[in-house]
Amino acid sequence: MESKPIIEIEKLVRNFSLGKQEIKVLKEISFSIQKNEYVALMGPSGSGKSTLMNLLGCLDTPTSGKYILNNQDVSQLSDDELAQIRNKEIGFVFQTFNLLPRATALDNVMLPLIYAGMAKTKREERAMEVLTEVGLSDRVTHKPNELSGGQRQRVAVARALVNSPSIILADEPTGNLDTMTSHEIMGLLDIIHKAGNTIILVTHEEDIAQHAHRIIRLRDGNIESDELNTSITAFV
């Protein structure tokens, strides 16, 4: 029996109102993503990829169409329900790291577990575990301004992993990093994927997209192409 996709998108539409005009940003797009896939979403500015990422990350709801995440229709949920789904099902890695500046690496990584209601001892144990996984066991008491850009992004990756989410959503994860550090972070995402995680990578950089096993290209709110990547770049 074939397993159900972890993500199913059916005729997804997202319109925005600009005065009296309605702007159609996503135009009835459909696709599915299987568990443990590594997919890149690509497209030029204005293609709709950021809007799609917000929908996939449950940061927004569609105008129409369906979004099934882990067998649950999240298309029409309330803001509170979306927040619960985000904390449980999705690990975010952002270009700008989005770390709390006054908090240590350990405290930053524990944050999603506080929202999840986990006891303090277990929170610390789990946060230490993922910080060790990303190679930062010796930096747990450091604050973001005491870390390099690459280390800060590793903290962000650890925070994304800490709740054992269904998917990791990485939005331009190397956008603020130099080439060598970018390679390190992409190597880390390769390892995370090999460990069984589903990764969706949003990027406009072709060389970064080449790490993914499948590339979905958007243009003008439509899917221009959806193809398996036959020339995968990997560092592990």
Q: What integer pLDDT is reported at residue 1 of this predicted model? A: 43
Q: What integer pLDDT is reported at residue 104 of this predicted model? A: 97
Q: What integer pLDDT is reported at residue 5 of this predicted model? A: 94
Q: What integer pLDDT is reported at residue 171 of this predicted model? A: 92
Q: What integer pLDDT is reported at residue 45 of this predicted model? A: 85
pTM of the predicted structure, to 2 decimals: 0.91
Above pLDDT 90, what percent of the chain? 78
How far is the C-alpha of 74 from the C-alpha of 94, rounded, in Å? 22
Q: What integer pLDDT is reported at residue 116 of this predicted model? A: 84
How far is the C-alpha of 74 from the C-alpha of 84, rounded, in Å? 11
Q: What integer pLDDT is reported at residue 236 of this predicted model? A: 53
Q: What integer pLDDT is reported at residue 176 of this predicted model? A: 87
Task: Report mean pLDDT in 10-residue bins for the chain, 236 residues.
Answer: 83 92 94 96 91 93 94 90 90 90 96 89 95 94 95 94 93 90 92 93 92 96 95 73
- Assigned CATH topology for domain 35-63+77-228: Rossmann fold (3.40.50)
